[in-house]
Chain A
Amino acid sequence: MKTEAEPIIPTGVPDLLPGVAALRQEGYRLVAISTTTLGEQFQVDYSFDRAFSFRTLRLLVSSETPLPSITGIYWAAFPYENEMHDLFGLTVTGIAVDFKGTFIKTSIQYPFGVTTVKPGDEP
């Protein structure tokens, strides 16, 4: 069974749009934006692929940090960015198709925004 090399490139918020634009220029496809709650912080991964070469730009942000939308570069990012807001409570500014919190309907607000079981506290 083959596995992939998956480089992760740490990125700051100011470098996000230039980094994404460079990948677009190189012909990469947006694969996914994934958010992970790490205590008080959020790990936001922007993953791309070109001819089965997979790479990820990684941000570490707090819930107060507004993130710029990448829909100006990859229009197809709008479902991911709405999901980041609806499930995690992250603020993404300038989404091309902004549902303003109604894309994924949840019974509680931002259900993934907190870790209910802290690492190391498992039963």
Chain B
Amino acid sequence: MSHQITVPFGPQHPVLPEPIHLDLVLEDEMVVEAIPSIGYVHRGLEKLVEKREFPEYVHIAERICGICSFIHGSTYVQAVETVMEVEVPERALFLRTIWSEYSRMHSHLLWLGLFADSLGFENLFMQAWRLREHILDDLEATTGGRVIQGACKIGGVRRDIDNRKLAEMVAGLDLLEIEFREMNKVFFHDRSVLHRTKGVGIIPEREAYDLGAVGPTGRGSGIAEDARMLGYAAYDQIDFKPVVETGGDSYARCVVRGKELYSSIDIIRQAVEKIPDGPIDVKVTGTPNGEYWARAEQPRGEVIHYVKGNGTRHLLRHRVRTPTFANLPFLVKALKGCELADVPVIVLSIDPCIGCAER
């Protein structure tokens, strides 16, 4: 056996937007074990249900993450609405669906840029983030917020989008789709991208499933599951198939996210076509008494918001299981046996969101 050394990776590292620490046990250049450690940005947000009343807590739920904020808010309200048996107006459900897909696109473009950066492909990084600005502009125009939207509330949404603006948004997405396809040509076919990602960090489908992998991380290994298939919000009225790749490597995970940009646009087109006129919220009375695990598909995969109420204005428990937390075991396995130089690419390939994972 070769001599083993332990190399610390993170919590501060050029490819890490957020802090996670890995102890990498190496034999020569090969990683034989990776031991993760988190806790640098633990805020104990779930504990705040004891001090904030359930309607205002949505603002905290949304701040769990600065990237997939909207879907945290919408999943939290979905959990409370289910416990309270609130009938949310159809238009509000469609608006939630549209904003969720905008959130997915902005998150995927952010990740694609960071991934290109991890490969040293600066130009591609800037291209992805340039396109992301268009998505953020539409989020800002329709919700008032680029990153934290604050658009969801228990019983519906706070803002409407008029039908003229919805048509404008779809027209804008038609143009953006052309640019996405140009950008994806590089992610999918460029020799330098393939060289750094193909065959790197492979986890086959069965193992990924056993590891509890979710989202593009699992779908890149061939798991054909996507929480949107549950039919929450207005997804039960949308024709949708999950994007699945079977390579199980960093390249496959990248391709899933690249192609999901197209499926998000398609979902938005269908939602704009089908959105009914009508109210965007209902008056909610009473307090939650019961429990529910609400599941939704975030850009990084299945998120769970568990709420338990006892009939008072304060929930007994709000527990969030984020996709990054579920994908940590996958990451540990994917790093085993890789070259030290591939560690940043593999870490980024699961799109880690540490703020989310720690809450």
Contact flags B226-239 to A (C-beta < 8 A → 1, else 0): 00011111101000
Q: Given A75-B211, A105-B40, does the pair A119, B310 have CB atoms closer than 8 Å?
A: yes
Question: A61 CA to B313 CA in the complex, in Å?
Answer: 26
Give the residues in chain B near A45, CB-CB below 8 Å.
306
At the interface, yes or no: B321 with Cβ under 8 Å from chain A? yes
Question: A4 CA to B230 CA in the complex, in Å?
Answer: 8
The reply to whether A105 and B39 contact each other, CB–CB distance below 8 Å, is: yes
Q: How many residues of B contact A (CB 8 A)?
A: 49
Question: A105 CA to B319 CA in the complex, in Å?
Answer: 18
The reply to whether B316 and A103 contact each other, CB–CB distance below 8 Å, is: no
Q: How many residues of A contact B (CB 8 A)?
A: 40
Looking at the complex, which of B106-114, B130-138, B160-168, B324-332 is the stretch in contact with chain A?
A: B324-332
Give the residues in chain A near B319, CB-CB below 8 Å.
32, 34-36
At the interface, yes or no: A116 with Cβ under 8 Å from chain B? yes
Contact flags A89-105 to B (C-beta < 8 A → 1, else 0): 00000000101001111
The reply to whether A52 and B82 contact each other, CB–CB distance below 8 Å, is: no
Question: A117 CA to B315 CA in the complex, in Å?
Answer: 10
Question: A57 CA to B88 CA in the complex, in Å?
Answer: 30
The reply to whether A117 and B51 contact each other, CB–CB distance below 8 Å, is: yes
Question: A52 CA to B229 CA in the complex, in Å?
Answer: 9
Give the residues in chain A near B37, CB-CB below 8 Å.
99, 102-103
The reply to whether B38 and A103 contact each other, CB–CB distance below 8 Å, is: yes
The reply to whether A2 and B50 contact each other, CB–CB distance below 8 Å, is: no
Question: A34 CA to B46 CA in the complex, in Å?
Answer: 12
- A10 to chain B minimum Cβ distance, whole angstroms, is 14
The reply to whether A36 and B316 contact each other, CB–CB distance below 8 Å, is: yes
The reply to whether B329 and A79 contact each other, CB–CB distance below 8 Å, is: yes
Question: A112 CA to B316 CA in the complex, in Å?
Answer: 12
The reply to whether B314 and A31 contact each other, CB–CB distance below 8 Å, is: no
Partner of B233, one of A1, A30, A86, A120: A1
At the interface, yes or no: A72 with Cβ under 8 Å from chain B? no
Q: Given A54-B293, A112-B47, does the pair A29, B212 have CB atoms closer than 8 Å?
A: yes
At the interface, yes or no: B7 with Cβ under 8 Å from chain A? no
The reply to whether A34 and B312 contact each other, CB–CB distance below 8 Å, is: no
Q: Given A31-B321, A47-B293, A104-B39, does the pair A76, B304 have CB atoms closer than 8 Å?
A: no
The reply to whether B39 and A117 contact each other, CB–CB distance below 8 Å, is: no
Q: Which of A11-60 contact B (CB under 8 A)?
A: 29-32, 34-38, 45, 47, 52, 54, 56
The reply to whether A29 and B209 contact each other, CB–CB distance below 8 Å, is: yes
At the interface, yes or no: A66 with Cβ under 8 Å from chain B? no
At the interface, yes or no: B292 with Cβ under 8 Å from chain A? yes
The reply to whether B35 and A104 contact each other, CB–CB distance below 8 Å, is: no
The reply to whether A31 and B47 contact each other, CB–CB distance below 8 Å, is: no
Q: Given A34-B319, A105-B40, A111-B47, does the pair A122, B312 have CB atoms closer than 8 Å?
A: yes
At the interface, yes or no: A106 with Cβ under 8 Å from chain B? yes
The reply to whether A103 and B39 contact each other, CB–CB distance below 8 Å, is: yes
Question: A122 CA to B39 CA in the complex, in Å?
Answer: 29
Question: A3 CA to B233 CA in the complex, in Å?
Answer: 10
Q: Given A75-B329, A103-B37, A104-B358, does the pair A122, B42 have CB atoms closer than 8 Å?
A: no
Give the residues in chain A near B40, CB-CB below 8 Å.
105
At the interface, yes or no: B210 with Cβ under 8 Å from chain A? yes
**Known A1-B236, A105-B42; further 9 A-B contacts with Cβ < 8 A:** A1-B231, A31-B302, A35-B319, A37-B317, A47-B293, A56-B293, A75-B210, A76-B210, A122-B314
What are 6 A-B contacts with C-beta separation under 8 Å?
A6-B292, A97-B35, A103-B37, A104-B39, A105-B42, A122-B312
| Interface residues in chain B, defined as those with a beta carbon under 8 Å from any beta carbon in chain A | 35, 37-40, 42, 44, 46-47, 50-51, 78, 82, 88, 93, 209-212, 225, 229-234, 236, 292-293, 295, 302, 304, 306, 308, 310, 312-314, 316-317, 319, 321, 325-326, 328-330, 332, 358
